[in-house]
Every structure is written in structure tokens, then in C-alpha cells.
Structure 1
Amino acid sequence: MQINLIRFFYAACLILAAASAQAALPIQYWQMENGARVYFVENHDLPLLDVSVEFPAGSGRDDKSRPGLASMTQHLLTHGAGGMTEEEISRRMADVGANLGGSFDQDRAGLRLRTLSSERERSQALGVMAKALQSPDFPAQILEREKTRSIAELKEAMTQPEFVAGRTFNALLYGTHPYALSSMVEPESIAALRREDLVGFYRAHYRADEAVVAVIGDVTPAQAREIVAQLTAVLPRAESGSQPLPAVVMPKGETRKIAHPAKQSHILIGQPGMTRNDPDYFPLYVGNYILGGGGFASRLIEEVRQKRGLVYSVYSYFLPLQQSGPFQIGLQTKREQADEALAVVRKTLRDFIAKGPTEDELKKAKQNIVGGFPLRLDSNMKILDYLTVIGYYRLPLTYLDDFSGKVEKVTVAQIRDAFTRRIQPDNMATVVVGAD
């Protein structure tokens, strides 16, 4: 009966969310005495609470001698904590219909919770999350099991063309930069991980003074403060903050062709692109929507698929990070068409950089981006995603309110100028997996 009630509440969220997110919600910010930075949106429309706690503990913080350590540390947070076994953690979450998961990328790592906001459910779920964050046990037996599982998954992935392409592409883009460490994970490096490695990494990077906490849902500001205190009170602390990751050095253009029995060639082309706080963010963002990020309305789709029928899909995107994240163009095509498709992509990119978009393309892109923006805020979980980004990268609290206006102000000249300065077609890394 209780499970059915919980499911009813969650189903109601899907119905009510769109009506409750017509505009960006006011973001409250404060910093706890222990240094944790908090971003809170109060929303009593639904009986739900979403919480995220993240740290600068992504793959970019890996030890070069132990690639894969950051990921394994984050993964094991919920596999035994505060004396609770992983079975107990799972059972206590299921008992109140809560969901405790993880977040992990090149910059960030942490935990996320979704729970009902009623006292019993909220208290039990937050209690488990607090133990996972502040007193993970990293059980040796569980570590050995997860190492075996991860090694098997990695070996399987290394046979897949898309994985081989992405791994090689990331290595070409970032060379010796910490963002390349995720491409260096091997079965041997996973096998070498020890429990004391995880404990050391946790103590160094999962610190109260580095914590970014996002909270949205059916609680008051006072309750939110109590929640954050509960989740961060006994986290490790340090006298000084962690050092920022080094700036990315632009690599020399290189093409890597890799033999593979796949029927299609998997192609990636690109370079380091932009940071999350990049002054060219909006011209590059809007320009990329026109180039390859707008689906069937994009230039790449028009030139490579619709005019020539060389691919089913082709895309481009920027992934902004603390340092320059990748600008990537990707496609799959028949092996015998790989060279032709790649030539068309490169020509389309060069033409776009040289001439920029047309006024009509820009107008339609703005309409689509601005018109679709409310859908990015139509659930608490989506807003939580934005709160974590705003918090971690220290974006303005008005970021969501300002977004559409900044998109509307972008001009053709700004797009052309930004792409001309920032994207270098002759200096791109290119990977072709399944080349003839």
C-alpha cells in the first residue's frame, strides 16, 4: 500500500511539474560555517525533496599512477557506510521510496538524493545519505568485487567502436592534461587499486570546505540549513582549498585511423572548446545549435545527410568544463564513404567559420532555444541539475533568468567572430574507427 502511494506521488510530479516551472525560480545562497556553499530553491508544489552534494573529485583529480581511482571512490560511497552494509543501505532507501545515486564527470563527483518530503521518509533517506557522504566504509571485500566487475565491463567496452573512438579522441585532445586521465584507465590500473587508495582520495577531495550543496523542494530555508548541516558536519576539512586544474594546451592536429571489424566507420573530430565561464559562451552555444546541435535544423544534417545521404545522424556540441571542455563533431557512416563524409564535414565547418550563419538561421535558432527553455525547468530534478552547475562553477544566481535574454542578444557577427577565434579546422584531432 505504501509503495503504491509513493508511486502515486511520483506520477503526480510528472503531471504538475510543467505547471510549476513557468519561470526560473528564485535561488537562495549561503555559505555554512564549515565552508560548504549552498544553493536552495523552495518549492512546496510537490511533496518532494531533491538534494545534491558535489566535490571537485572527478576524473581530472585522478592520480596519474592510479587512473580510475576517482571513479571507484565515488562508486563505493553507497556500498557500505557508517557500519551499514550495501544491502541495508538499499533496503532503507527502498523502505521510504527514496533514490540515492551518484554524479561523476571530469570535474565533479558526489551523491544525489530524491525523497518524499514527509518527516519519516525525509529523515530516513537523509540519514543514509549523510552516512554515505561522511563515513563511507569502503569494504575491502566489496572493493574486490567491484574491481572484478569494472575490469569485465572495461574489457567489453574496449571491443566497441564507439568506446574506442571516444577514448582515443579524448587522449588526443588532452595529452598530458588531467582531463586525459579517464582515457588511461586500464584493467591493470583498476586491479591495482587498494582500499587505502580510496580512503586517501576521499579524505583529500571530499571536504566540507569544497562541498557544493544544491537543495530544491518542499522544505523551508531553516529546514534546508539543518539538512546541509546534517550532510556536511563531519566531512573532512583542510586548511587551504584545492588547486584549480591547469589550463588546457591546444593540441596539434592529428588524425588517428584505427582498424576495427565494425560495418560502419565511427568518426570524431574536434578540439578543446570552452570553459563554463567562457566570455564567448553564448555566441558559441547559439552558433553550435545552428552548426550541428539543432537536430534536423542544423547545417551538418542538411549537408551530410539530407543533400548527400552519407549518414543517418551527425552532430556537434560543446561540453564546457572548469577548463576547456571538448568541441566535438561526431558521425557514423559506411566504411567506403568515410573519407567523403569527413570531407563534407570539414568543408561545412570551414564555410560556417568563414561566413557564419544567415540571419534567418539565427532567428530560427533563437526561437527554438528560447521557446524550448521552459522545458529545461519543468521538473525539480532538472532545476537541481542547473543549481549544481551554477554552484560548482560559481555562475551568477540570475543565470536562469538571464539565459533567454543573452541568447536573444547574440548576433551573426558575434558568432562568426567567436568561431573564427576559437575553432581551428586545421588543428583538429580526428579519429576514425573502422577505417578501410
Structure 2
Amino acid sequence: MLGLGLLERTALAIPPVQRTILPNQLVLLVSEEHSLPLVTLQLLVDAGSWRDPQGKEGLAYVTANGLLLGTSKHRATVLNELLDFIGASLDASGGRDYATLSLQILKKDLDQGLDLFLEALTQPTFPEEEIRREIEKTLGSIQAAEDQPTAVATKAFQKALFPSGPYDHPVEGTRDSLPKLSRELLVDFYRTYYHPNNAILAVVGDITLEEAQAKLLLRLTAWPQGKIPKSTVNPQFAQGPEKIQIDRPITQANIMIGHGGISRENPDYYALTVMNYILGGGGFASRLVEEIRSARGLAYSVRSSFDPGRYPGPFQIVLQTKNASAREAISLALQQMERLQKEMVSDKELEGAKKYLVGSFPLRLGTQANLAGLLVQVEYYGLGLDYPERYPSLIRSVTREDVLRVARTYLHPESCILVVVANLKEAKLD
């Protein structure tokens, strides 16, 4: 892992970010990096699955994927051929909070690549046949996941944790909701949310702010602003404890233990990041791995995580163990949560966590795509463009007292939702 000295040099080498707002209210972030003749664009649109209408779950996801299924100028196959010819990569995806459209291209082909990027963004036609094929493909993935114990546990945990609210359904939709989607619904969703005043564009690489502005202004005049509906959201978590047991003829128990967590704007995010590293986010350096895997040999894989978003997301511990060891592994995991609430972590654990988190941060910015992805998130979550420079000090400022405080505030071992997918006869949980 990177030492702190190397970190300081790497952090200072992060290209400066310039922010401007175009006349159509699109937020533009540009980071110049001229070592390679490459340019990466990532557009974030505030059109994630949290905006799905009830009963139409998966609409945001399919709409995002639909951007690449055909435009007013090119069928999907022709669009792909044009991209392949210039060696460009154009990708679209729908997520929980937002959708993204990304382009990676050589600088010499940027004009042609930008034309195709903005064509997909502003002129999608959502062809009926292609949309139906996309929905069928998604349904096939959902069907296949039902044979995967980890996916079964994840689905059951999400359903139990979120009785209602923005994260109460899978991003990709469900077997019940997807067949209800139509081209008309996709077009309406697109026309409602896909506007420049609801988007952020990061441009990273061999380009200046002036170049980016000039090229984009010429091409964005046809992308109109829109009035974005205000959404009333009331996030709710189920109150545990609750135990969900799902019987499967498998040799390993797949276990999820957790409860509600935090949103990304929570000021305790950094203390929780350090605490979670010590608990189960730090691989072999974590207490869960040390106790459950190394000392007891009960599990090959065990980890913990907070998953904050625009709204509060889950905290969870995920592990796999032999069916017969399920009860013991669950008990040990809960004990480690309680231990963090009862006693301060050691100086060695604290410093090890902070050193890793600070030292590894620049590695997450090592590619244009990673940096562009971070920049749009920083803007979306309101973290400030100096976030990459501030992150090390935010982590270093966490104390043992902070870790104890956030463990007592945000960990709830007494009221967890427990999901076990296992051979229940062998697991003997009751």
C-alpha cells in the first residue's frame, strides 16, 4: 500500500478541476491531464431508480440502457460500428441515485465521438423491438439470480429493510414490474428527467476548459432545459430484530446481518469509514476476518459495509460459512459489533485504518474514468471540488473517541435484520 509520503506527492499531482455552468444550466467540470492523447467524458443525470413510479420499478434502469438502443440517425448496430471504427467506448447505466453516460476516446477522434455521445443523449428513439429485447434480457438476469444464494439473500434483505421509500426495490426492477414497462413510459421518463439543468458533465484528459466549452456549446443548443418535478421522499427503515430463513439445498450458508445506515451527506461519514475498516471493511486487517476466518476458520469470506447514497442506505455484514457453522458465525459477528460499542479501538488499529484509507485514495483516481466518476459524484453529493485534497485530512482527523461514538450511534446489534440462505436442516438456527 502507498505510504503517506507517496500519498502527499500523488495527492498534489491530481489535476486541478475547473467548474462552470453552461447557458443551458449544465454543470461542466473539466480536469486537464495531457500525458496521453485521451479524453473521457462522464455525464450524470439525476434520474436513478429512486425516481421509479410505484409499480413501474426498473423504468429508470431500462431508460438509461435505452439511450444506446438507437437514435434518430442510427440504429444500435450502426452506432456500435461507428464507435468501433474510431476505437471509442460509449456506455450507459442506470443506478440507485442517478444514471450515467460515459465516453472514452482518442483526442484526434473527439469531434466524431462527441457527436455520437450527444446523439445518444439527446436523440434516443427507444425502438419498441430493442426495448422489449432489453426488458427480456433483464428478466433473464433476474431469473438467473434466483439460483444464486448471495443474490437471493440480498433481495430478501433489501425487501425487509426498506418497507417503502426510494431504495425499496432493485435498481433493475422486478419480474412483476418489468413486463408493465412500455416505450411510452420510457419516452415520458426521458422527457421528464433528461435535461441539462438536471445533469453534471465531467471531462477529463487531453483537453482544456476552453476547448470543452467550445465543442459542447456548438452541440448542445438542441438539448432543452426542463422543469424537473419535485419528489417527496420519506425514507424508512424497518425496525428489527427480524430473522428470515430461506431453505436451499446448498453446502454453505449465505448470511446477511444489518440495519439502516446513513446518507452520503452525513458528517460522520469519515469516522464511520474508519470504524467500518476496523470492523470488516479492511480485509485481513479487520476484526471480522481475524475472528471468524483466521482464528476460527469458519468463513472464507466475511466483510462489512455502509452503503450511503442520496438517501440513507444499508449497513450490512455479509459472510459465507458451512451450514453447521452458521449460528456460531452469526453470534461472532454480532459480538464484534458490540465490542466496538464497549471499548475504544487500539492506537495500532486506528493508525492502520487511517494509513490504508489515506494511502489508497489516490489509487482510486488512477484512471481518467475513475477521476471523471469521482468528479460527478463530488458535485452530485455536494462535497466540494477540493474534496480530493481534503479527504486525507478528513480521515486523519478521526480519533479513537470518534470511532467509539459512531459505533454507539450507528451500530444496532440488538435490532438487526438477519437473512440466512442455507440448508436449514443442517444450519439448525432455531
Q: Report the TM-score, using the length of structure 2 for normalisation.
A: 0.92
Write the distance in 2 (CA, Å) between the matches of 1:391 and 1:374: 18
Which letter does structure 2 place at the counterpart of 1:143?
I
Q: How does 1:110-125 map to 2 (within 5 A)?
A: 110-118=100-108, 121-125=109-113
**Equivalent residue number for residue 11 of structure 1:** none
Cα deviation, residue 227, structure 1? 4.1
Write the distance in 2 (CA, Å) between the matches of 1:388 and 1:326: 22
Secondary structure of the 2:177 match is: helix
Which letter does structure 2 place at the counterpart of 1:297?
A
Residues 1:375 and 2:338 are matched in the alignment: no
Pick from 125, 128, 131 the counterpart of residue 143 of structure 1: 131
**Equivalent residue number for residue 37 of structure 1:** 27
Which letter does structure 1 place at the counterpart of 2:102?
R
Q: Alpha-carbon deviations, 1:139-167, whole Å to 9, x = none?
A: 01111222222222211112211111111
Q: How does 1:198-277 map to 2 (within 5 A)?
A: 198-229=186-217, 232-240=220-228, 242-243=230-231, 245-249=233-237, 251-277=239-265
**Equivalent residue number for residue 107 of structure 1:** 97
Write the distance in 1 (CA, Å) between the matches of 2:325 and 2:416: 20
Write the distance in 2 (CA, Å) between the matches of 1:178 and 1:232: 31
Secondary structure of the 2:104 match is: strand
Write the distance in 2 (CA, Å) between the matches of 1:20 and 1:303: 35
Residues 1:61 and 2:27 are matched in the alignment: no
Structure 1 residues 260, 42: closer, same or farther in 2, change over 3 A? same
Secondary structure of the 1:252 match is: coil
Checking the alignment, whether the CA contact within 8 Å between 1:52 and 1:111 is kept in structure 2 is yes
Checking the alignment, whether the CA contact within 8 Å between 1:83 and 1:137 is kept in structure 2 is no
Q: Alpha-carbon deviations, 1:253-275, whole Å to 9, x = none?
A: 31111111222111111122121
Secondary structure of the 1:165 match is: helix
Which letter does structure 2 place at the counterpart of 1:373?
F
Checking the alignment, whether the CA contact within 8 Å between 1:292 and 1:315 is kept in structure 2 is yes
Secondary structure of the 1:246 match is: coil
Q: How does 1:28-427 map to 2 (within 5 A)?
A: 28-118=18-108, 121-182=109-170, 185-229=173-217, 232-240=220-228, 242-243=230-231, 245-249=233-237, 251-427=239-415
**Number of matched pairs:** 416
Write the distance in 1 (CA, Å) between the matches of 2:236 and 2:349: 32
Q: Alpha-carbon deviations, 1:305-359, whole Å to 9, x = none?
A: 1111100011011122011122111000111111111111011111112213211
Write the distance in 1 (CA, Å) between the matches of 2:261 and 2:80: 40
Write the distance in 2 (CA, Å) between the matches of 1:359 and 1:231: 55
Cα deviation, residue 83, structure 1? 2.6
Structure 1 residues 230, 165: closer, same or farther in 2, change over 3 A? farther
Secondary structure of the 1:180 match is: coil
Checking the alignment, whether the CA contact within 8 Å between 1:40 and 1:216 is kept in structure 2 is yes
Gaps of 5+ in 1: 1-18
Checking the alignment, whether the CA contact within 8 Å between 1:214 and 1:391 is kept in structure 2 is no
Write the distance in 2 (CA, Å) between the matches of 1:231 and 1:104: 24
Cα deviation, residue 115, structure 1? 0.5
Identity of aligned residues (%): 34
Write the distance in 1 (CA, Å) between the matches of 2:289 and 2:273: 17
Write the distance in 2 (CA, Å) between the matches of 1:435 and 1:345: 20
Write the distance in 2 (CA, Å) between the matches of 1:228 and 1:147: 32
Checking the alignment, whether the CA contact within 8 Å between 1:133 and 1:231 is kept in structure 2 is no
Cα deviation, residue 422, structure 1? 1.6
Structure 1 residues 183, 223: closer, same or farther in 2, change over 3 A? closer
Structure 1 residues 242, 225: closer, same or farther in 2, change over 3 A? farther
Secondary structure of the 1:276 match is: coil
Cα deviation, residue 391, structure 1? 1.5
Cα deviation, residue 56, structure 1? 1.5
Cα deviation, residue 399, structure 1? 0.4
**Equivalent residue number for residue 5 of structure 1:** none
Which letter does structure 1 place at the counterpart of 2:203?
V
Q: Alpha-carbon deviations, 1:343-392, whole Å to 9, x = none?
A: 11011111112213211100111122222222122221221121021111
Cα deviation, residue 236, structure 1? 4.6
Structure 1 residues 102, 393: closer, same or farther in 2, change over 3 A? same
Checking the alignment, whether the CA contact within 8 Å between 1:38 and 1:213 is kept in structure 2 is yes
Secondary structure of the 1:271 match is: strand
Write the distance in 1 (CA, Å) between the matches of 2:131 and 2:315: 35
Q: Alpha-carbon deviations, 1:171-214, whole Å to 9, x = none?
A: 12211112012279332321221100100111111121111111
Checking the alignment, whether the CA contact within 8 Å between 2:64 and 2:94 is kept in structure 1 is yes
Greater CA drift, 88-97 or 385-394: 385-394
Task: Tell me how large the CA RMSD over aligned residues is.
Answer: 1.8
Write the distance in 1 (CA, Å) between the matches of 2:423 and 2:216: 52
Greater CA drift, 124-133 or 147-156: 147-156
Cα deviation, residue 22, structure 1? 5.8
Checking the alignment, whether the CA contact within 8 Å between 2:43 and 2:202 is kept in structure 1 is yes
Q: Report the TM-score, using the length of structure 1 for normalisation.
A: 0.91
Structure 1 residues 198, 231: closer, same or farther in 2, change over 3 A? farther
Cα deviation, residue 427, structure 1? 2.0
Secondary structure of the 2:13 match is: coil
Cα deviation, residue 21, structure 1? 7.1
**Equivalent residue number for residue 3 of structure 2:** none
Write the distance in 2 (CA, Å) between the matches of 1:97 and 1:187: 36
Structure 1 residues 232, 255: closer, same or farther in 2, change over 3 A? farther
Gaps of 5+ in 2: 1-8, 425-430
